């Protein structure tokens, strides 16, 4: 096949077996790859009622048809599993070269089930997989583990101590700091006694129409080089350029979302990061944008931080000590912790302590306690045992669930939706919990991409968001980066896929594929017991207006948007896809599975 390899490598750690299987071409055309293919595997192979940290859960590493192709930003892949943090379907996407090497080893996907009896690591190549003992690696930090196992023409991923110790928001990371970051994929890998995976491959994907690809690839590079955000903003500052901008809009979450203005934002800004801490910019495989940052403090050096991390470990904790913030980011990376969930959970603990629910010295602004709190979390020591559960379980344990800034158990990203109504709808409806990467409304509501909308209005937001959600599912499934969408539109994705696979894809066909993936994810969550009541936001965002800045006086008016959202999606008033919608998307068999489970519930 062109674009795809048509092969799946399956590993059962309990049975100590492995094998290569064919993937039906119809499955690949229907779900594309990456996130879509992972959703298909999880839906058809895992019951939502299993223990996410048990042997029946899977880790599905999936590449897209464009992954590893010489196309700008086509170096991304996904891992899909049942989240231990949220119990929703979870896919986590990364620009690590591991996905590229997995594809070049000859596989569209690697699906891992079971649990090894002792720590192991996997070596994947064109001939299959070898299982190696990893007791000597257990306890090692990132990225040292992957560097130690590195082979010529290989790339790898591993877990750190947080994943080994079952922290519910542990990551899987590569040797250069790129992570499958959200939802606890690292905890699932750790529960399988799997420390690392190394993929070696040199088999570049076959291309159906080399000349057509060369032409559209040239046009894509030209567009990326001329669009301001992909040619100037992101290359010069990285994502940290958003700190001052979001603060100016009044949507920079501060002190556990109590405010949207951080009075010391300039001290943790992208401009200061560039002027005082930047060594050089870096990029994911095949990416000309180069939004990543290699940085240093007076004591250490490492990767990042990204904007999301600056918010989570900075403004949301009331911390303006940039050196400590940067070193906290390095520490999270070494230990294998999602910086967003880490920071938001610590912010929850700080507010719990300030309001007397929790006996702790943690307080907003206490930068001197941050590194210790992170380390205790990764090793589950002291208060870290509670922090390792995430903000929802932490707040419930101490009797104040309203202080957890989460949706479906996943901690909120770095945009206060009280100043971005569409973003609030996005958080509430995202299938993996609160997420800014599942149809981000930042573009139309704050950046004017493709055009500027009234960020405080609710009318019309549902329809716009749905299209963006479908596009995001397509991009994640193709193996490309969403930042490319700042410069190129759906037409380019269709042309790229057509040139690579030889099948003519129209834009509408791609968007329908995105809609199919979104609905399949929704069906999985419905099977897991989620419903309309879970498509909501923390009460603080619905009831407490911001009191400062350029979003002062606003709350999220979710009820004004949610009914429209369901109606436009072809779902009923409870958020269940109607049979006619599922039939139109070719999901009839999935609907039968869903109905059978309901009848036996």
Q: 434-471, pLDDT tens digit by residue?
A: 999 999 899 999 998 888 999 999 999 999 999 999 99
- Interatomic CA distance for residues 368 and 365, integer angstroms: 9
Q: Is residue 228 part of a domain?
A: no
- Report the C-alpha gap between 338 and 27 in whole angstroms: 32
Asked if residue 525 and residue 432 are part of one domain, the reply reads yes
Position 449 scores a pLDDT of: 83
Distance from C-alpha of 232 to C-alpha of 274, rounded to nearest angstrom: 14
| Lookup: tokens for 11 | 């590993």
What distances in angstroms separate CA 61 from CA 13, 110, 159, one per listed residue?
A: 15, 5, 15
* Average pLDDT value for the chain: 96
Written as one string, the DSSP assignment of 87-126 is: SSEEEEEE--THHHHHHHTT-SEEEEES--SS-EEEEEET
Count other C-beta atoms under 10 Å from residue 370's C-beta: 23
Task: With respect to residue 231, please indicate whether it lies within any of the assigned structural domains.
Answer: no
Please count the structural domains in the chain. 3
Number of H helices, E strands in the chain: 26, 17
CA distance 478 to 579: 27
Q: Are residues 393 and 453 in the same domain?
A: no
Residue 248: in which H helix or E strand, if any?
A: helix 242-249
Euclidean distance between CA atoms 41 and 495, whole angstroms: 27
Mean pLDDT of 293-308: 96
- Band the pLDDT of 593: cuts 50, 70, 90: confident
Q: Are residues 183 and 283 in the same domain?
A: no
Res. 601: pLDDT tops 70: no
Instruction: Give tens-digit pLDDT for 498-517.
Output: 999 999 999 999 999 999 99
pLDDT at 126: 98
Structure tokens at 354: 């300030």
Are 47 and 74 part of one and the same domain? yes
Residue 47 in this model has a pLDDT that exceeds 90: yes
Rounded CA-CA distance 202/103 in Å is 9
Its domain, for residue 93, covers 7-200
Residue 65: which CATH number? 3.60.9.10
Whether residue 230 is contained in a domain is answered as: no
Whether 508 is covered by a domain: the verdict is yes
């Amino acid at each position: 096949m062109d674009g795809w390899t048509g092969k799946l490598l399956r590993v059962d750690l309990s049975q100590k077996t492995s094998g290569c299987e064919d993937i039906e071409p119809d499955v690949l055309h229907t779900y594309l790859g990456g996130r879509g293919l992972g959703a298909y595997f999880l839906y058809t192979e895992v019951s939502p009622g299993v223990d996410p940290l048990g042997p029946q859960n899977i880790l599905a590493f999936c590449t897209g048809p464009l992954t590893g192709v010489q196309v700008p930003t086509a170096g991304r892949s996904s891992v899909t599993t049942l989240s231990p943090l949220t119990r929703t379907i979870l896919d986590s996407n990364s620009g690590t070269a591991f996905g590229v090497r997995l594809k070049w080893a000859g596989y569209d996907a690697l699906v891992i089930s079971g649990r090894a009896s002792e720590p192991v690591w996997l070596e994947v190549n064109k001939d299959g997989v070898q299982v190696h003992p990893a007791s000597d690696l257990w306890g090692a930090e990132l990225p040292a583990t992957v560097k130690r196992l590195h082979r010529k023409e290989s790339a790898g991923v591993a877990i750190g101590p947080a994943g080994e110790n079952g922290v519910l928001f542990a990551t899987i990371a590569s040797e250069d700091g790129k992570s499958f970051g959200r939802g606890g994929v690292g905890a699932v890998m750790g529960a399988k006694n799997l420390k690392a995976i190394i993929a070696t491959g040199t088999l570049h994907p076959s291309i159906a129409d080399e000349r057509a690809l060369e032409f559209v690839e040239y046009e894509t590079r030209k567009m990326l080089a001329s669009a301001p955000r992909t040619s100037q903003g992101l290359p010069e500052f990285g994502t940290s350029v958003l700190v001052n901008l979001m603060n100016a809009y009044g949507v920079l979450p501060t002190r556990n979302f109590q405010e949207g203005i951080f009075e010391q934002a300039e001290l943790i800004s992208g401009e200061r990061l560039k002027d005082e801490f930047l060594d050089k910019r870096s990029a994911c495989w095949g990416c000309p944008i180069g939004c990543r940052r290699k940085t240093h403090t007076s004591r250490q050096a490492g990767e990042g931080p990204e904007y999301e991390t600056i918010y989570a470990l900075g403004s949301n904790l009331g911390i303006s000590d940039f050196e400590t913030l940067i070193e906290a980011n390095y520490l999270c990376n070494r230990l294998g912790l999602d910086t967003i969930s880490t920071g938001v959970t610590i912010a929850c603990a700080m507010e719990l302590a300030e309001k007397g629910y929790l006996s702790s010295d943690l307080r907003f602004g206490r930068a001197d306690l941050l590194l210790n709190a992170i380390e205790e979390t990764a090793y589950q020591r002291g208060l870290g045992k509670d922090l390792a559960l995430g903000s929802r379980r932490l707040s419930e344990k101490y009797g104040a669930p309203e202080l957890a800034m989460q949706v479906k158990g996943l901690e909120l990203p770095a945009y206060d939706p009280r100043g971005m109504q569409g973003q609030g709808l996005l958080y509430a409806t995202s299938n993996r919990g609160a997420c800014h990467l599942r149809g981000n409304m930042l573009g139309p509501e704050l950046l004017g991409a493709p055009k500027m909308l009234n960020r405080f209005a609710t009318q019309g937001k549902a329809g716009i968001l749905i299209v963006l959600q479908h596009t995001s599912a397509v991009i994640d499934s193709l193996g490309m980066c969403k930042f490319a969408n700042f410069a190129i539109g759906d037409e380019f994705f269709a042309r790229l896929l057509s040139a690579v696979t030889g099948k003519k894809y129209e834009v509408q066909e791609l968007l329908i594929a995105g809609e199919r993936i979104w609905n399949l994810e929704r069906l999985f969550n419905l099977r897991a017991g989620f419903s309309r009541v879970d498509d909501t936001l923390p009460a603080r965002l619905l009831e407490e207006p911001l009191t400062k800045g350029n979003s002062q006086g606003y709350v999220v008016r979710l009820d004004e948007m949610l009914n429209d959202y369901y109606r436009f999606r072809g779902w009923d008033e409870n958020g269940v896809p109607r049979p006619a919608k599922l039939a139109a998307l070719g999901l009839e068999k999935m609907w039968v599975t869903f109905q059978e489970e309901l009848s036996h519930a």
